[in-house]
Amino acid sequence: MTAVTAPPVVRFAPSPTGRLHVGNARAALFNWLFARRHGGRFVLRLDDTDRDRSTEPFAQGIQDDLCWLGLTWDRLERQSARFATYDAARDRLIAAGRLYACYETPQELEFRRKRLLAQGRPPVYDRAALRLTDADRARLEAEGRQPHWRFRLEPGDVRWHDLVRAEQHVDESSQSDPVVIRADGSYLYTLPSVVDDIDFAITHVIRGEDHVTNTAAQIQLFRALGAEPPLFAHLPLLVGGDGHSLSKRLGSLSLADLRQQDIEPLAICGLLARLGTSDPVEPVASLQPLIDTMDFARIGRAPARFAEADLQTLSQRTLHVLPVDSVRDRLDPAAARLGEPFWLAVRGNLARVADAADWLPVVQGTLQPVVEDAAFLAQAAEVLPPEPWSDGTWKTWTSALAKASGRKGRALFHPLRLALTAREQGPEMARLLPLIGRPRTLARLRGDAA
């Protein structure tokens, strides 16, 4: 198991510019499981510095989605409330010579990039802005240009031990100095994220492997601000069942959409937690088994294959192991009143919780029985045991009927199921029979609607 010497502090940092999809949910889940496994804290940080695209409905939707999955947080922070903190870090970095102003337009930068590529050279920014004089900067600003700001990388190899990918390194001499502040003064992801991780004492950054290339620059930024970087764990990305990236289809895999499809949240967690690991994908009745098996050593390096059909199947299998208390508030009121005996009887035949209501007419409503053999049903009525009934009554009754009639197998059971439920298949009759009750059973054996 991954060694953790102190309770970890982790964060999930979505931008409230849309609803969560399964890729987001996987990152949130691994952070939450890791925190709960080691008695740590889970911080929800809303990265809402993009004031044009971030909305309060999306922010609330993210929180609703996490609560639906059962991933509650210990602390909630919004980056939009922390601009003064980011400005202070910006000023420190400028004073230290680690942030510098650049005046190139996007068109100029694109032209340089294409020229370098045409020459067979890597498209690395040449730090031309560092060669500007005060007079050059004054002239450019007089032309109406506003600077964007880059973080100056120190040359050399940056190394770290990734908890999933093992030893990693990036030669920063081969990287462009990243832009951290746009020309309009707004912050890109990198600087606020690092400042927050320092201030919130984040110990582990757990995210998708598409962030690996950012890590070396972020490590340098931590150290430029006088802090040691956290540990990193980069998870393999999700791909579809065909092996291709899900990125173009994530819109159809939002948690809001899956919720509307009545997918069980525990199935989503169970599938996302086990995909790409050495553990089997199987239904769970709570998050605790996922907490107990959370270990970076179990995660493989290969992309994790996500198939919607697998999620649908696991959702149904999950439903079949859930206790009634976990679904009671989603049951039809009449089904909820029947409680655990009814739920245990029907759950194995359900695709959705709402489907439980389909079985209410069988146990407490009126139905027209299907009479396959009236004489046999009359014989069955003669040996019907007296109440009170239990789950063992069905076996007692059918054993007596088998002895009296000489029937067995389908010839014995099928006419009884048709008479008592008017259906070819369904839940175990041993559980249904006590719910139907003796008076209704007798009436249906006689062929009467009951």
Is beta strand 238-240 parallel, antiparallel or unpaired with respect to 304-306? parallel
State the CATH number of the domain containing residue 376. Answer: 1.10.10.350
Give the pLDDT score at 248: 47
Q: Are residues 71 and 200 in the same domain?
A: yes
State the CATH number of the domain containing residue 54. Answer: 3.40.50.620
In a domain, 316, yes or no: no
- Residue 438 near residue 389, CB atoms below 8 Å: yes
The tens place of each residue's pLDDT in the chain, 450 residues long, gives 666 778 999 999 999 999 999 999 999 999 999 999 999 999 999 999 988 889 999 999 999 999 999 999 999 999 999 999 999 999 999 999 999 999 999 999 999 999 989 998 999 999 999 999 999 999 999 999 999 999 999 999 999 999 999 999 999 888 999 999 999 999 999 999 999 999 999 999 999 999 998 999 999 999 999 999 999 999 999 988 766 666 545 555 899 999 999 999 999 999 999 999 989 999 999 999 999 999 999 999 998 889 999 999 999 999 999 999 999 999 999 999 999 999 999 999 999 999 999 999 999 989 999 999 999 999 999 999 999 999 999 999 999 999 999 999 999 999 999 999 999 999 999 999 999 999 999 999 999 998
Give the pLDDT score at 357: 96
In a domain, 421, yes or no: yes
Q: Are residues 90 and 171 in the same domain?
A: yes
**Please, which residues bridge with residue 240 across strands?**
306
Q: Are residues 228 and 374 in the same domain?
A: no
In a domain, 3, yes or no: no
In a domain, 284, yes or no: no
User: Structural domain tally of the chain?
Assistant: 4
- Residue 243 near residue 237, CB atoms below 8 Å: no
Q: Are residues 89 and 221 in the same domain?
A: no
Q: Are residues 171 and 92 in the same domain?
A: yes
Domain of 167 in residue numbering reads as 84-181
In a domain, 43, yes or no: yes
Give the pLDDT score at 274: 96
Note the pTM of the prediction, 2 decimals. Answer: 0.91
Query: What is the DSSP secondary-structure string of 339-400?
Result: HHHHHHHHGGG-SSGGGGGGGHHHHHS------S-HHHHHHHHHTPPPSS--TTHHHHHHHH
Query: d(Cα 319, Cα 354) in Å, to the nearest integer?
Result: 11
Q: Are residues 49 and 93 in the same domain?
A: no
